[in-house]
Chain A
Amino acid sequence: MFLMLVGTLLLPSCEDDYLTEKPRSFLAPENTFMNTKGFETTLTGLHIQVQREWGWAGGNGLTYMHFFIGTDICISGNATPFYTVFESYGDDIHPTNGQVAGHWDFYYKAIGNANLIIEAAENPDVKWDYPEDKNRVIAEARFFRGYNYRALIAFFGDVPLVDKLEKPFRLDYTRQPVADILDFMIEDFKFAAEHLPDLGAIDGKIAKAAAQHMLAETYLWAGQPDLAEQAAQDIINSGLYQLMTERFGQKAGEPGDVYSDLFIEHNQNRGSGNLETIWAVQQEYSVLGGGGQDDGHNDWSRRGWVPNYAAVPGMVLADSLGGRGIGRLVPLQWWLDSYEPQDIRASKYNIKREYWYNDPTSDNFGQKVEITQEWLNLGKLYPTTTKFYFGKADDLNFLSNLKDRYKIRLAETYLLLAEAQMLQNKNTEAATSINVVRARSNASPVDPADVDMDYILDERAKELLGEYHRRFTLVRTGTLLDRVRRLNPKSKDGIRDYHVRWPIPQTAIDANSGAVLEQNPGY
């Protein structure tokens, strides 16, 4: 009897089942890409990746810094070599630098996820809630794919063009010219603009205008200002967006101005009445998924722009000073000096210039602090923007800025439009576009004759400091070398012509053993 029992068990038929693994406590592509909900959840994954763009700390990378350090608007404060090598230039930037590889991997992983979605959506067996879900899903994924390629070409120039997740893996990638990547991005953004809804179903989702805005920027990059102008105009003409000109939102009744209202917590989403926002990355204090330690990312902008004032004897952490800064990024004097006195963007609500000793146990309590050059150099105290203040009185050691973060707001669309118009020598129209932005801030109108690329870049610094990848803008407009040499005292001697592009990371070159991934010249 036992032998029979044993005999039955020896039959191999059931064993393969027995040893087959089933994904139960995790999701895999095969049990996710089945219906609209599965696709929506993976799309959310793409949003999360962008959320981390402002401060994932992987590979010791203070990633936020790289968008600003070594450009024309700031210098390093409380310095660490993780980012200062990108300020000193010279021979310090290596293909083996962890930050370089970190950014490369970051964007290609995001592209991989987007590719996975785009390919899976073509499966005819997917049960879509509504037939149009398919193109909307693909549109949103293609938007993110284009968005991530933008960073790659900005940092590295020519890069491999990948439109699917490879299984089994490939080892023979080669670099494609930037022009090809731009064409690819244009197709992605065009598809996205066509199939995305006019407004996102919920704040934070990608709307048609976001794709049109990226399309405008990409056309500019590709040297097609006429198409760029059209794309930007489409947004403005949609009537859905307008610059905020009146006080609004959470602290509309408190001292401040409309520009400071833009950066008050919970004032970024359309739901708060802010009609200027085209796309804001969603963050939320003390909410799971809102960012912070538990979500594996911290929005580094607060730590970057807020001085390490608690290191000044006689000063302690305070919510009114923006919480705990560590003074990584110190805005340059030219930027501080670039505003007209009446420009609200330079008001005391928007730029903090003066400090008082605030430690009650200090002998100097209540007295004004004289900012020393040494403190400024060390990032301890300096005039700075208040955009990224995030003080929580009962949690002064909190690390992040967890306000929603603008990715695209209409002010930039106007400045892109102006750039497109200027490049077509339509200076009057360009000046009109710029003056929409300036008027809101009570700055005097610009004379069409004064509008040139430098003017537009200055205006972008005044309007958008810290919000946008400054390095990308300078690379795109071909002005990085010139402006850094003119404006950045710490970088001007180190920077070489080849520094417009970062090196291709050695890890990518080494792993790609089936073909040569050419290194950028100079490295």
Chain B
Amino acid sequence: MLNISGIKEGVVLDHIQAGKSMDIYRHLGLGDMDCTVAIIKNAKSSKMGRKDIIKIEGSLDSLDLDVLGYIDHNITVNIIRDDKIVEKRCLKLPNRLVNVIHCKNPRCITSVEQELPHIFYLADKEKELYRCQYCDEKHS
């Protein structure tokens, strides 16, 4: 078994769907941060069979949990302090997303006024459906 050392202070994103860790790495902008990041792919999981894990050294403040909730709200966020898990946070689908996904409707005002933020709202929680705040077009 591959051993990755623990982190003294930081965040462990657990129960990531196998193969999705690099998407999350990109969406969270982890490549632009100075902190240490470990990505574990295809780890064995009794619950999921295989899973990915990301360990991030540093504060939770720099992470956009809304993005994470949108990508996969089944991910568990473990907050680590002094080598111990002090909090487990469950994610939920965010009610609002700003500049995470983009509206593809050519008739939307965002298609011509490019400085506008792309804002989506959660229109149907069960179907996990987001609609553009400007034109109400669903995101697909």
Chain A partners chain B: no
